[in-house]
Amino acid sequence: MKKYLKNFNFTCGLIIVITLFLMCIISLFYIPYNYTEMNYEDILQSPSIKHIFGTDNFGRDIFSRIMQGSKTTFLISFFSVLISSTIGIFLGSFMGYYGGIIDKVFSKFIDVLMAFPSILFALVIISVLGSNITNTIIVLGILSVPRFARLTRSSFIQGKNLDYVKLAKIKGVSNFRIIFVHMLPNFKMPLIINASFSFALNVLSEAGLSYLGLGIQPPEPSWGRMLKESQNYLQQAPWYVFFTGFIIFILALGFNLLGDGINDILEEK
Amino acid sequence: MNKLLEVRNLSLTFSDDDNPVLKNVNLEVKNGQKVGLVGESGSGKTTLGLSISRLLPSKSKILGGEIFFNDSNILKLSEKDFNNLRGNEISIIFQDPMNSLNPLMKIGNQVIEIITKNLKIDKKSAKNLVLSTFESIGLKDPEYVYNSYRHQISGGMCQRILISMAIICKPKFLIADEPTTALDVTIQKQIIEILNKLSKENNMSLLFISHDLAIINNISDYIYVIYKGVIVEHGKKENIMFKCKHPYTKQLINSIPKMENKGKKLSVSNRLEINNLDYKEYLCPFRSFCPNKIDYCYKQMPDELEIENEHYVRCFNY
Ligand SMILES: Nc1ncnc2c1ncn2[C@@H]1O[C@H](COP(=O)(O)OP(=O)(O)O)[C@@H](O)[C@H]1O
Ligand SMILES: [Mg+2]
């Protein structure tokens, strides 16, 4: 752990992610202002002691809305990474381990998925299924499956020729146990790195979808939609767009740094 | 003695346009016999061991031949039937003991897996069996080893653990692929002693693979010499060590350091790598380097000739 903390990228990333995650946790219990109630006396106030990030066009505290929005962001990113990693790891490990026809069929399937422009895919699915949190999670989850599957597949293709894997086969250990007990724990690092990058990507994609009006519906605040709304007040209230954009940027940066840091540390070894 | 394993005319390749890695290999192991397979690295020894245990990488292709174990054709058995053989009757030890253990699993758990699969006993007695096997193979503190991870123990201990793992279910046949190459000399000697003892006590047949004829000499009753995928000579240990015929075997024997040659230069064969096309035809693989080559060597592969009882050679000089 010491070695990890010495790495600048890793430590920065960790601090950013933990800070924002704490904010998300705190928002479960306490948010300074009501984030839906409109308050026409306080419209578009600049940042002050009272409203540290200022207020928006309905006089709502921007910081409170960002706090509330962080719940959505973390919820969506977490569950979409969970879905994509689970499916991707299962698929990839079977493809890599068994090879042959299983590998061919799913490789083609994944190629097709990757060939599809992701924003188009999201547009189609969400227009058909309707826009809500669950569907956003599903769409973002499916979109990251190929990267997890490919990564796992390549680890397993190399890994199945390792001596201890061959030995496990000789011992008569079941394929299932070889895959999940003998092999997977040894190949977890690249997957963890990829999960961290996927988190960053999903934060941005969720914001992107909400920005297009395909994500979370009002009155629930979402960072992406806040960014869109803030655009209209770019001149009167530049802090609105600044803080909203900054928070999205910083969270994505945090996860990217985290992934980079782990990668650096592993390469040093 | 009865035949336990018989490899018949086995040919194998890793890619169609390359030279086969094994060419018409014939090999026999009898019950309780200790067979040595010697040849320089790259000659296909590991590949032969892996084909017997059916652990070849999927890109390999068997061009022809059969492998019989106890009269059943291994290459034709279903995965399930073969899994019953593997571990229970055929076992293998790999060259690199460190890489043969999973870094993230406790040693004990890795050994116990093979027992729970092959012997029907409960966890407690399985653990006791592991501990007593560790002890019998010269591991000092079995309980400590049982609860350790790979990085906590030495290479010699690792190899002992792998041997325990290989013999704990009392297999009839053990393939040891350079089990001592990664170890230092004193440990090498101990490992050889253990294998000799185990083979005797359990009437276990052994296929001992090494590039080092001196080690092979210490452990085997019968020796096969392989060069570039061709068995060039085989015979009883005494016949190979004292009366070898094939020019390649002679070179191997001359390269063993001996007391009476102390101070003299070792004979080292100087060879240029010949191009791949050269191997492609089915010809003696040693012809380009051979001091006694004749025109015929470039025309066809010599047949195996029985020079004397239990001594065969593939060379046109005889
Ligand atoms: N997985 C593989 N893919 C391609 N070629 C291989 C593979 N394994 C071994 N070979 C080739 O087969 C030949 C014999 O290798 P091997 O059986 O490991 O020899 P040895 O054990 O005698 O050193 C070598 O020329 C090697 O390049
Ligand atoms: Mg080898």
pLDDT digit string, tens, across residues A156-175: 999 988 989 988 888 888 89
- 3-state class (DSSP) for residue B133: helix
Per-residue confidence of chain B (318 residues) as pLDDT tens digits? 688 999 999 999 998 777 889 999 999 999 999 999 999 988 999 999 999 988 888 888 999 899 999 888 999 988 888 887 877 789 889 888 888 999 999 999 999 988 877 777 888 889 999 999 999 888 889 999 999 999 999 888 898 899 888 888 888 999 999 988 878 888 888 889 989 998 999 899 999 999 999 999 999 999 999 999 999 999 999 999 999 999 999 988 888 777 666 666 655 555 544 444 444 568 888 888 888 888 888 888 898 999 899 999 999 988
Secondary element (H or E) of residue B237: helix B237-243
Q: Residue B215 and residue B307: Cα distance in Å, rounded? A: 25
- A170/B88 touch (CB, cutoff 8 Å), yes or no: no
Residue ranges, chain A, pLDDT below 70: 269
Search chain A and give the residue with CA nearest B90.
A170
Q: Does B132 touch chain A (CB under 8 A)?
A: no
CA angle B56, B60, B64 (to 5 degrees): 100
Ligand 1 atom 26: residue of nearest CA: B42
Residue from B104, B175, B178 to probe the interface with A (highest A Cβ count within 10 Å): B104
What is the spatial order of strands in the sheet that B72-73 belongs to? B22-30, B3-13, B61-69, B72-73
Atom in ligand 1 nearest the alpha carbon of residue B211:
22
pLDDT of residue B270: 53
Those residues whose C-beta lies under 8 Å from the C-beta of residue A3, and which sit 6 or more positions away, are A265
Q: Which token pair is B273?
A: 């790598």
Q: Residue B120 and residue B294: Cα distance in Å, rounded? A: 60
Q: Residue A224 and residue A205: Cα distance in Å, rounded? A: 9
CA B229 to ligand 1 centroid distance, Å: 10
Pocket residues: Cβ below 6 A from ligand 1: B 14, 21, 39, 41-47, 57
Task: Using alpha carbons, list the distances in angstroms from residue B128 to B115, B160, B175, B277.
Answer: 11, 17, 26, 56
DSSP string, A162-222: SHHHHHHHHTT--HHHIIIIIIGGGGHHHHHHHHHHHHHHHHHHHHHHHHTT-SSPTTS--
CA angle A237, A243, A244 (to 5 degrees): 100
pLDDT of residue A47: 80
How many interchain CB pairs under 8 A, A with B? 52
pLDDT digit string, tens, across residues B150-200: 999 988 889 889 988 888 888 899 999 998 887 888 888 888 998 999 899
Residue from B100, B178, B181 to probe the interface with A (highest A Cβ count within 10 Å): B100
pLDDT of residue B276: 45
Secondary element (H or E) of residue A265: helix A238-268
pLDDT of residue B263: 67
pLDDT of residue B268: 57
Those residues whose C-beta lies under 8 Å from the C-beta of residue B112, and which sit 6 or more positions away, are B123, B126, B127, B130
* Residues of chain B with C-beta less than 8 angstroms from the C-beta of A170: 53, 55, 86-87, 91-92
pTM for this structure? Answer: 0.78
Atom in ligand 1 nearest the alpha carbon of residue B50:
17
Residue A246: what are its φ and ψ, rounded to 5°? -60, -40
Q: Residue B67 and residue B51: Cα distance in Å, rounded? A: 9
CA A104 to ligand 1 centroid distance, Å: 26
Pick B92's closest partner by Cβ from A162, A170, A173: A170
Burial tier of A108 (Cβ tally within 10 Å: 0-12, 13-18, 19+): exposed
Q: Residue B204 and residue B93: Cα distance in Å, rounded? A: 14
Search chain A and give the residue with CA nearest B106.
A182
Set out the domains of chain B in order of their start, with CATH numbers. 3-313 (3.40.50.300)
Return the beta strands (E) in chain B as ranges. 3-13, 22-30, 34-38, 61-69, 72-73, 90-93, 173-177, 205-210, 222-227, 230-236, 305-308, 311-313
Pick the CATH number of A2-30+53-268 from 3.30.70.3280, 3.40.920.10, 1.10.3720.10, 1.25.40.390: 1.10.3720.10
Q: Residue B2 and residue A250: Cα distance in Å, rounded? A: 74
Q: Does B44 touch chain A (CB under 8 A)?
A: no
* DSSP structure class, residue B13: E
Q: Does B103 touch chain A (CB under 8 A)?
A: yes
